[in-house]
Amino acid sequence: MRIRIENGRVLDPASGRDEIGTVWIQDGRIQAVVPAGQPKEPLGEQPEGRDMPAEIQEIDAAGCWVLPGLVDLHVHFRDPGFIYKETLATGARAAARGGFTAVCPMANTNPVVDTPERVAELLKRAETESVVRILPIGAVTKGLAGEELTDMAGMKAAGAVAFSEDGKTVMNAALYRKGLEQAAALDMVVMDHCEDANLLKESVMREGTPAEARRVSGVSHASEDVITARDILLARETGARLHLCHVSTGASARMAAQAKAEGVRLTAEVCPHHFTLTYEDIPQGDTNFKMAPPLREKEDVEALRQGLKTGALDVISTDHAPHSEEEKARPYPEAPNGIVGSETAVALAVTELVETGVLTPLELADRMSFRPAQILGLPYGTLREGSPADVTIVDPAAEYVIDKNQFASKGRNTPFHGRQVRGKVLYTIVDGKIVYAAEEEEHD
């Protein structure tokens, strides 16, 4: 079967394309992109020995954006070990519903993804359990214990695309430097969770009020910024490719910009909750607003937005982190950190960044598709002819209210339930196959 997506605004950062046109998909590849005003049928003959498929599935994308499939560098699928929170299958369906065609599950499962065998097992399961591409992240230290480095070379050979301790920081700087050296020798990215555990001990919220959040914020800024500074220095020294996860402070954003200007091999991500909310938005005791790093101040939100605009901060990732309702119902100090994000990221990015003029639609496609794929050195994030047929179709004008009860994820822990937004994912196509269609969901 061939797929013809016509009348849409085709946004391809890799080629700089931003125009109305028709996208042809065949055999899991982008066959052609035909600008409006030219014959809809792509030129050129079929490869020798291959007949033209008779059946064509047509998608009218008038008024919509046709983007390269979105790539999320940062998710937690909780499988294996915590499948009451999320499974590989439910996490993948949530990602597809959110427009993501490829996702990077972090290693903090049980058992931890810290060996070549566990990387291979995850990829094997993904073949039958996931509707999106699974790009495994291997642990930096065995068991995420921060004491002994993993077999990075073996995990790379098994299919890991990067390494991370996300959820924790390797507090032993000497050990982390050795890890960065190993990753540099393999030309692999290390995704960095910047949070000083010792400073963090002083910043536990006793109550979930804005006043407490403000008090804590002053301390927790330092807990992020100290490790950001440390690890930038280590990356400079080792030549490693360092990626800063969930940047949330203005100081870390400025350090990232300076380090990149000085030639450090650095990239960085921002999550929608951090460029949308501040500590002032936290209702008293509402643990759906509890996350790590925490919500910051207005000045930080503005710095993150400007960092995304200038490119000092490279990508938008979700840090999708589902928890059960029972866990989130605990008192504020005892409730786990984290919110779900796969199914709200596009709408928040459109509403908060595109509608406000921070990013153009093409820049949004860059931050959520092309640049994440480039960081990992993978052939996704583009609509160029011959590239994998991963496509996301978004109606940027669609207005709706976020309803957590409609999520495909098992997690309902979101601070955005009931929020009015614009920007709805209509189709997600992976490897030339439609894995999510909003119209089918509406008919169920």
Q: Are residues 59 and 96 in the same domain?
A: no
Of the pLDDT bands very low, low, confident and very high (cuts 50, 70, 90), residue 51 is: low
Q: Are residues 165 and 30 in the same domain?
A: no
Query: Is 79 within a domain?
Result: yes
Q: Are residues 60 and 98 in the same domain?
A: no
Query: Is 302 within a domain?
Result: yes
Q: Are residues 204 and 152 in the same domain?
A: yes
User: Is residue 395 scored above 80 in pLDDT?
Assistant: yes
**Per-residue pLDDT at 210:** 57
**Per-residue pLDDT at 199:** 83
Query: Is 334 within a domain?
Result: yes
**In sequence order, which residues have a C-beta less than 8 Å from that of residue 404 and are 6 or more positions away?**
412, 414, 417
Of the pLDDT bands very low, low, confident and very high (cuts 50, 70, 90), residue 284 is: confident
**Per-residue pLDDT at 205:** 42
Say how many domains are in the chain.
2
Catalytic residue among 314, 319, 366, 390: 319
Query: Is 403 within a domain?
Result: no
Q: Are residues 212 and 135 in the same domain?
A: yes
- Section 187-212 average pLDDT: 73
User: Is residue 38 scored above 90 in pLDDT?
Assistant: no
**Per-residue pLDDT at 320:** 98
Query: Is 407 within a domain?
Result: no
**What are residue 71's DSSP bridge partners?**
102
**Please, what is the average pLDDT of the chain?**
93
Q: Are residues 241 and 145 in the same domain?
A: yes
User: Is residue 48 scored above 80 in pLDDT?
Assistant: no
Share of the chain above pLDDT 90, in %: 85
Nearest Cα residue to 73 out of 312, 308, 316, 297: 316
Q: Are residues 88 and 57 in the same domain?
A: no
Q: Are residues 49 and 79 in the same domain?
A: no
**In sequence order, which residues have a C-beta less than 8 Å from that of residue 22 and are 6 or more positions away?**
4, 5, 6, 7, 33, 34, 36, 40
Query: Is 381 within a domain?
Result: no
Nearest Cα residue to 423 out of 383, 364, 372, 366: 364
Structural domain of 58: 2-66+387-396+420-443
- Alpha-carbon Rg of the chain, whole angstroms? 21
What is this structure's pTM?
0.95
Q: Are residues 243 and 391 in the same domain?
A: no
Q: What's the CATH number where 287 sits?
A: 3.20.20.140
Q: What's the CATH number where 19 sits?
A: 2.30.40.10
Q: Are residues 99 and 42 in the same domain?
A: no
Of the pLDDT bands very low, low, confident and very high (cuts 50, 70, 90), residue 204 is: very low
Looking only at the bridges linking them, the beta strands covering 137-138 and 162-164 are parallel
Q: Are residues 242 and 143 in the same domain?
A: yes
Compare 61 and 443 and report the one with higher pLDDT: 61
Query: Is 408 within a domain?
Result: no
**Per-residue pLDDT at 334:** 87
Q: Are residues 150 and 36 in the same domain?
A: no
Query: Is 233 within a domain?
Result: yes
- Section 154-163 average pLDDT: 98
**Per-residue pLDDT at 209:** 53
Asked if 319 is an active-site residue, the reply is yes
**Per-residue pLDDT at 201:** 64
CB 381 within 8 A of CB 373: yes
**Per-residue pLDDT at 213:** 54
